[in-house]
Amino acid sequence: HVQLVESGGGLVRPGVSLRLSCAASRYTYSSDCMEWFRQAPGKEREGVAAIDTSGGSTYYADSVKGRFTISQDDDGNTVYLQMNSLGPEDTATYYCAADGGRCYMLNSRYRFSYWGQGTQVTVS
C-alpha cells in the first residue's frame, strides 16, 4: 500500500512562488509515474505535471509550462512541484498521484491508484 502526503500549500499573493512536496511511503518500484493534479471549485481535476521516476522525463500542461517544475529527490520517494509566477488562475487544491509503470505524457486521473489528501493553494 502506498501512502502519499502532500505539503507546502498556502495563501500567497500573485507573482510569488510556492513549492509543494509529495512524500511517498512505499517500497520502491522499478519505475513509477507520479503526477500532480489540481482541482478548482466547479472544475474537473486536471493534470499539471508528471515525472517518470525511472528516466526522469517530465511533462507539463500548457497552462503551467515555463512556470512550474516537477522534480524528485535522489531516492524517488519525494516529488516536488516548484510553482513560480503564481496567478489567481492557479488557485486550486493540488493532489499528487502515483502509479507503477512508466510515464510518457500527462495522464488521465483514472490511471492512478494512489492519491494524497490534497493541499490548498490560494493566490489572491
Structure confidence by residue, pLDDT tens digits, 74-99: 877 899 999 999 999 999 999 999 98
Kindly list the distances between the CA atom of residue 30 and the CA atoms of 75, 76, 101, in Å, as whole numbers in the listed order.
11, 10, 8
**CB environment 89-123: b (16+ within 10 A), e (fewer):** ebbbbbbbbbbeeebeebbeeeebebbbebbebeb
Report the pLDDT averaged over residues 26-46: 84
Is a pLDDT exceeding 70 seen at residue 29? no
Query: What is the grid cell recorded at 110?
Result: 483514472
Quick one: CA torsion of 22, 24, 29, 34, rounded to 10 degrees?
-20
